[in-house]
Amino acid sequence: MEFIKPGTKIDFIGKKKIAISISVLLITVGLISLLMRGGLNMGVDFAGGTLIQLKFPEKVSIEKIRGGLKNIGLEDSTIQRFGSDRDILIRAPVSTNKLEDIGSTVKRALEGEFPAGLEVERIEMVGPKIGKDLRRKALFALYFTILFIAVYISGRFELQWVNSIIMAVVFISVTLLFLKIFPNISIPLLILTALLITLYFCWYLKLKFALGAIIAIIHDVLIAAAAFSITDKEFTLPVLAAFLTIIGYSLNDTIVVFDRIRENIRLMRKENLEVIINSSINQTLSRTLLTSATTLIVVLALFIFGGEVIHSFSFALMIGVVVGTYSSIFIASPILVAWQPASGSQLLPAKKKRRR
């Protein structure tokens, strides 16, 4: 099945400046939002504390709930509606080993203010140390995933298995060594520094396909994070899983396009690289759009009908599918043109001559 007829000649590379400008604008807005909010809205999984879900017999006022919690010293808790007007989610910045006690305490504090029928449906607790440890592990998971992707892309498309594996081992070792020597070092700063140095070495070693894939992945993660910051949605463990899924989806789309570029480089050796990349994207466009559309339909159904429990998860996937498809066309592929060789053949590794 072909969604787009063969022979399409859309000049994607010619529109790269417009596409990159749009991406820079979206990422800038997201970074401004993150700075203004002081980072992502971390859920209990990462921030620590106690989460209590209540169900009231009728619609209630959040301010009235806050007034009831004042009597037990929890007036600073985050209170929000969860699905319907009768479901309330309270995130208290305290942890306790006795979940039943805090649940019954909150229920008693609110029963005097509201009609009978109040129910405690869910209580979750994460200690501050566990939350901090999970934040660290989440950042390392994202970084190591990107590093392993660099190894895979470099080996598959440029036959640079040795150089890329050595680079990955060195970066992992140095990162963990820094963490051991300086246990109080800022993990976000450490990961950001390691990521920038990784990009530099990919450029220095001329791992062009890997550099394009990594920049596209970083682009997708930043825009997804921007969407969460702007909408003030909670970043939880399921959302982290969604972000890792976004990386995998984006990489899959990028590899399909890169595969066709590699094939066409061998078939169109005399053509300019921009012509080769445009032809490759157009040839895979039908497959890319069909895959993205069918995936998006499923994710959209989850977002609309899946309920509040997986609402943030499906929202992240929805953003990731759209942005991942966009980046494989407008971000990853144009990176290859940055070297601007006379022909595409210079992008491929030289074949070794056989000995007679």
Segment 141-158 mean pLDDT? 89
Answer for the pair 241, 189: CB distance below 8 angstroms, yes or no. Answer: no
Q: How confident is the model at residue 339 (pLDDT cuts 50, 70, 90)?
A: low
Amino acid at 107: K
Q: What percent of the chain has a predicted confidence (pLDDT) above 70?
A: 89
Task: Give the domain extent around 139.
Answer: 13-40+130-347
Mean pLDDT computed over 206-219: 91
pLDDT at 98 over 60: no
pLDDT at 342: 46
Same domain, 17 and 157: yes
Residue 47 has pLDDT above 70, yes or no: yes
Q: What is the CATH number of the domain that holds 54?
A: 3.30.70.3400
Residue 1 within a domain:
no
| Percent of the chain predicted with pLDDT > 90 | 25
What are phi and psi for residue 76, nearest 5 degrees?
A: -85, 5
Closest by CA position to 224, among listed 10, 17, 40, 7 = 40
Instruction: Decide which of 125, 143, 160 is a domain's last residue.
Output: 125
237 and 200 in a single domain? The answer is yes
Question: Mean per-residue pLDDT for 123-142?
Answer: 80
Closest by alpha carbon to 80, among 126, 34, 44? 44
Give yes or no: residues 221 and 93 share one domain.
no
Assign 49 to helix, strand or coil. strand
**One domain, residues 218 and 330:** yes
Sign of the CA dihedral 170, 176, 178, 181? negative
**Dihedrals φ, ψ of 92, to 5°?**
-95, 140
pLDDT of residue 42: 83
pLDDT digits (tens, 9 = 90+) for 72-82: 777 777 787 87
Instruction: Give the CATH number for residue 156.
Output: 1.20.1640.10
For residue range 239-263, what is the model confidence (pLDDT) as tens digits? 988 998 999 888 988 999 999 998 9
pLDDT at residue 311, as a whole number: 85
Is residue 216 scored above 90 in pLDDT?
Answer: yes
Predicted pLDDT at 121:
82
**Is 293 a residue whose pLDDT tops 70?**
yes
Asked which of 67, 102, 125 is the last residue of a domain, the reply is: 125
Contact 54/120 with Cβ under 8 angstroms?
A: yes
Residue 109 shares a structural domain with residue 187: no
Residue 252: Cβ within 10 Å count: 12
- DSSP states of 215-283 as a string? HHHHHHHHHHHHHHHHHT-EE-HHHHHHHHHHHHHHHHHHHHHHHHHHHHHHH-TTS-HHHHHHHHHHH
**Within a domain: residue 5?**
no
Cα(149)–Cα(143) distance, rounded to whole angstroms?
10
pTM for the structure as a whole = 0.82
Instruction: Specify the pLDDT at position 356.
Output: 47
Is 277:339 a contact under the CB 8 Å cutoff? Answer: no
Q: Is residue 223 part of a domain?
A: yes
Are 302 and 246 members of one domain?
yes
Residue 95 above 70 pLDDT?
no
Q: Does a structural domain hold residue 209?
A: yes
Q: Would the pLDDT of 2 be above 60?
A: no
Question: 265 to each of 71, 133, 172, 257, how far by Cα in Å?
Answer: 71, 46, 34, 12
CA 57 to chain centre: 38
**Mean pLDDT across the stretch 188-193?**
87
Do 193 and 294 belong to one domain? yes
Question: In sequence order, what are the beta bridge partners of 92?
Answer: 50
Instruction: Answer with the residue of higher pLDDT: 347 or 19.
Output: 19
Share the mean pLDDT of the chain.
83
Q: Is the pLDDT of residue 26 over 90?
A: yes
Q: Domain check: are 116 and 144 in the same one?
A: no
Q: What is the pLDDT of residue 99?
A: 54
Count up the domains in the chain and report the number. Answer: 2
Higher-pLDDT residue of 309, 253: 253
For residues 110 and 150, membership in a common domain is answered with no
Sequential DSSP letters for 314-344? HHHHHHHHHHHHHHIIIIIHHHHHTT--SSG
**Do residues 31 and 72 share a domain?**
no
Q: Which of 105, 125, 145 is the last residue of a domain?
A: 125
What is the band of 351 on the pLDDT scale with cuts at 50, 70, 90? Answer: low
Do 273 and 342 belong together in one domain?
yes
Say yes or no: 118 and 144 in one domain. no
